[in-house]
């Protein structure tokens, strides 16, 4: 059948993206200080000295896996949000989800309920915060949820208020300030198996939920009237999609903090590469998100090493979030310059 030809022809971008993720993951494993690629290879071959084994298997591997899962979650969350709100400028960062999750995590840490040593409590706190942020937006937009412009304005408002609250918590209870700053910027430093064990079941469950909603989400992008005429209950579909996006974001934020711009920009890349059908674009967004975050993590480690060498500062480390934000801002500028504009 002739209809099959274009489908198989369009499969290679997904394969390429998967290869990219694999490459970036390997790069992240060998990016850190004190061990080079050969040492890492030896460890995976079953050799290597105990110190190297500890570094690779107990520190680098979980860190890379957490970066991959968090990146995939953020990419998915962004695409689900942009489709459900029919808004190319929607992203977890500007719809109150990420700031809410950060506020939750920071508050829990400030109150001493959670910390780096108790990741589960942080996940719960981040989820509560994320849902609270999204719920606030939901209440504020009222009956105008299908209006992208109003949602965007209210989203920025909610995000600003939540960030302000986070700052207040930080001033009142500076506590574990160092680790809290990592939340604000986003970092994969010090993620261990415990984080991975908490993140992956949550992320995969919601990723599957997102993929099940691919059909309704594609239709929602065609506009509410058209979607309803084609047989979609738009209100319920949008609510389900938003819930899924919040859950994905909260999971990612609880693991790596507020990585900037990933959820906003990865969907644009994914739509450009994989097309407008979300059954293909959603897996694409997950792969690209994983590649971007893990790549940024590898890049941040290389950069830290180079800067530490140049400045002779031993403990310098560049947070991953700083890199994604700079990268994202540059990309956003490029997109805006190209005049793609909204819709």
Query: Based on CB atoms, which residue is closest to other proteins, 167 or 229?
Result: 229
- When asked if residue 343 is in the footprint of other proteins (CB under 8 A), the reply is yes
Q: What is the DSSP string of 180-228?
A: HHHHHH---TT--HHHHHHHHHHHHHHHHHHHHTHHHHHHHTT-HHHHH
Q: At closest approach, how far in Å is the CB of 86 from other proteins?
A: 7
- When asked if residue 243 is in the footprint of other proteins (CB under 8 A), the reply is no
Q: Scanning residues 52 to 81, which ones bind other proteins (CB under 8 A)?
A: none
Per-residue x/- mask for other proteins, residues 285 to 324, rule CB under 8 A? ----------------------------------------
Q: Scanning residues 132 to 171, which ones bind other proteins (CB under 8 A)?
A: none
Position among 276, 306, 330, 333 found at the interface with other proteins (CB under 8 A): 276
Position among 168, 229, 306, 333 found at the interface with other proteins (CB under 8 A): 229
Position among 57, 228, 239, 307 found at the interface with other proteins (CB under 8 A): 228
Residue with tokens 């198989």: 8
Residue with tokens 């108790």: 118
Q: Which of 317, 212, 259 is nearest to 78 (CA)?
A: 259
Position among 167, 197, 212, 329 found at the interface with other proteins (CB under 8 A): 212
Tell me how far CA of residue 20 lies from CA of 23, 24, 211, 248, in angstroms. 5, 6, 21, 22
Q: At closest approach, how far in Å is the CB of 287 from other proteins?
A: 18
The CA angle 321-132-199, to the nearest 5 degrees, is 50
Q: Where are the alpha helices (DSSP H) in 144-192?
A: 148-172, 177-185
Q: Which residues are within 8 A (CB) of 282 and not within 5 positions of it... i.e. 6 or more apart? A: 76, 79, 80, 210, 211, 214, 217, 270
Helix (H, G, I), strand (E, B) or coil at 247: helix
Position among 54, 226, 333, 334 found at the interface with other proteins (CB under 8 A): 226
Position among 232, 262, 296, 327 found at the interface with other proteins (CB under 8 A): 232
Q: What is the DSSP string of 255-268?
A: HH---TTHHHHHHH
- When asked if residue 221 is in the footprint of other proteins (CB under 8 A), the reply is yes
What is the total count of residues that contact other proteins (CB under 8 A)?
Answer: 30
Q: Which of 237, 222, 241, 248 is nearest to 76 (CA)?
A: 248
Q: Which residues are within 8 A (CB) of 125 and not within 5 positions of it... i.e. 6 or more apart? A: 104, 105, 107, 108, 113, 114, 254
Position among 223, 308, 332, 335 found at the interface with other proteins (CB under 8 A): 223
Q: At closest approach, how far in Å is the CB of 25 from other proteins?
A: 28
Q: Candidates 60-68, 166-174, 224-232, 323-331 — which segment interacts with other proteins by CB under 8 A? A: 224-232
Q: State the virtual CA torsion across 325, 326, 331, 335 in degrees, nearest 10.
A: 80
Per-residue x/- mask for other proteins, residues 97 to 136, rule CB under 8 A? ----------------------------------------
- When asked if residue 89 is in the footprint of other proteins (CB under 8 A), the reply is no
The CA angle 17-18-22, to the nearest 5 degrees, is 115
Tell me how far CA of residue 183 lies from CA of 95, 279, 329, in angstroms. 18, 32, 19
Q: Candidates 91-99, 117-125, 226-234, 321-329 — which segment interacts with other proteins by CB under 8 A? A: 226-234
Q: Which residues in this chain contact other proteins in the complex, by CB under 8 A?
A: 3, 6, 86, 88, 212, 214-216, 218-219, 221-223, 225-233, 271-272, 275-277, 279, 340, 343
């Amino acid at each position: 059948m002739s209809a099959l030809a274009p489908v198989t022809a369009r499969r290679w971008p997904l394969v390429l993206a998967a290869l990219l993720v694999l490459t970036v993951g390997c790069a992240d494993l060998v990016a850190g200080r004190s061990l080079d690629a050969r040492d890492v290879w030896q460890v995976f071959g079953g050799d290597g000295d105990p110190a190297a084994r500890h570094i690779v298997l107990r520190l680098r591997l979980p860190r890379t896996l957490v970066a991959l899962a968090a990146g995939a979650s953020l990419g998915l969350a962004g695409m689900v949000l942009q489709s459900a709100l029919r808004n190319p400028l929607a992203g977890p960062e500007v719809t109150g989800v990420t700031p809410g999750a950060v506020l939750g995590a920071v508050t829990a840490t400030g109150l001493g309920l959670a910390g780096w040593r108790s990741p589960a409590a942080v996940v719960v706190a981040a989820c509560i915060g994320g849902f609270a942020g999204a719920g606030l937006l939901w209440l504020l937009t009222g009956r105008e949820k299908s209006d992208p412009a109003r949602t965007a304005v209210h989203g920025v408002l909610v995000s600003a208020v939540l960030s302000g609250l986070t700052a207040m918590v930080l001033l009142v209870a500076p506590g574990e300030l160092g680790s809290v700053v990592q939340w604000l910027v986003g970092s994969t430093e010090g993620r261990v198996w415990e984080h991975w064990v908490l993140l992956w079941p949550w992320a995969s469950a919601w990723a599957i939920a997102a993929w099940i909603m691919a059909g309704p989400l594609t239709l929602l992008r065609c506009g509410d009237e058209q979607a309803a005429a084609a047989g979609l209950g738009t209100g319920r579909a949008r609510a389900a999609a938003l819930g899924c996006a919040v859950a994905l974001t909260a999971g990612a934020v609880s693991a790596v903090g507020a990585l900037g711009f990933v959820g906003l920009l990865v969907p644009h890349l994914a739509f450009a590469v994989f097309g407008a059908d979300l059954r293909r674009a959603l897996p694409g967004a997950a792969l690209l998100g994983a590649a971007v975050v893990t790549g940024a993590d590898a890049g941040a480690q290389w950069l830290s090493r180079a800067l530490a060498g140049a400045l002779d500062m031993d403990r310098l480390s560049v947070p991953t979030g700083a890199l994604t934000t700079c990268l994202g801002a540059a990309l956003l500028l490029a997109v805006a310059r190209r005049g793609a504009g909204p819709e």
